[in-house]
Amino acid sequence: MHKVRYLMSSLVFLMILLCSLGSLSCFQGDTSNEDSGKKGSEAATANDKQAAESPEKHATSSQVTVYVTSWCPACKMTIDFLKREGIPHTVKDIEKNSAFLDEMVKKAGGNRGVPVIDVNGKILLGFNPYLIKELLR
């Protein structure tokens, strides 16, 4: 029994570590209208008001869009990497705008994990700096 508990806690630790290193994506749970007590069209209107994209968007020949949540460490690592490398990008927070969530799920083939990175139409699930650079070549 002791060994099973040790193995389970080790497995959980490893999964958290891999997620924070970007080898796994962080999984988004159900995001059905939990907008602080707002109902129906009220919640949709609040989401529509937040439809403006992040200021990281710049005119360039290559387009990088990152779908994120505020609590995801791999999302933060992705954004930090793109900034550090000087790669122009657009950040779309799927918690703040349900249209971004729908767009992401469609592009990612039903996957609800974040980050989802769209590099010139090629979809990358999870943070992988080497693959991002390769896709930009």
Please report, to the nearest 10 degrees, the dihedral formed by the alpha carbons of residues 131, 83, 24, 28 taken in order: -130
Residue-wise pLDDT for 25-61, tens only, equals 554 443 333 333 444 334 333 333 433 344 343 334 5
- Please report the pLDDT score of residue 23 as a whole number: 46
What is the token pair recorded at 105? 């799920």
The closest alpha carbon to 87, from 123, 118, 125, 43, belongs to 118
What is the domain partition of the chain in residue ranges? 2-136
- Please report the pLDDT score of residue 5 as a whole number: 61
- Please report the pLDDT score of residue 84 as a whole number: 97
Answer whether CATH 3.40.30.10 is correct for domain 2-136.
yes
pLDDT band at residue 3 under the 50/70/90 scheme: low
User: Cβ-count burial of 35 within 10 angstroms (0-12 exposed, 13-18 middle, 19+ buried)?
Assistant: middle
The closest alpha carbon to 69, from 25, 132, 33, belongs to 25
For 73-95, b/e burial (b = at least 16 CB within 10 A) is ebbbbbbebbeeeebebbbbbbb
Looking at the DSSP bridge assignments, the partners of residue 127 are: none
Residue-wise pLDDT for 80-137, tens only, equals 999 999 999 999 999 999 999 999 999 999 999 999 999 999 999 999 999 999 999 9
Q: pTM, whole model, 2 decimals?
A: 0.60
- Please report the pLDDT score of residue 55 as a whole number: 38
Residue-wise pLDDT for 5-26, tens only, equals 655 555 555 555 444 444 445 5
- Please report the pLDDT score of residue 52 as a whole number: 39
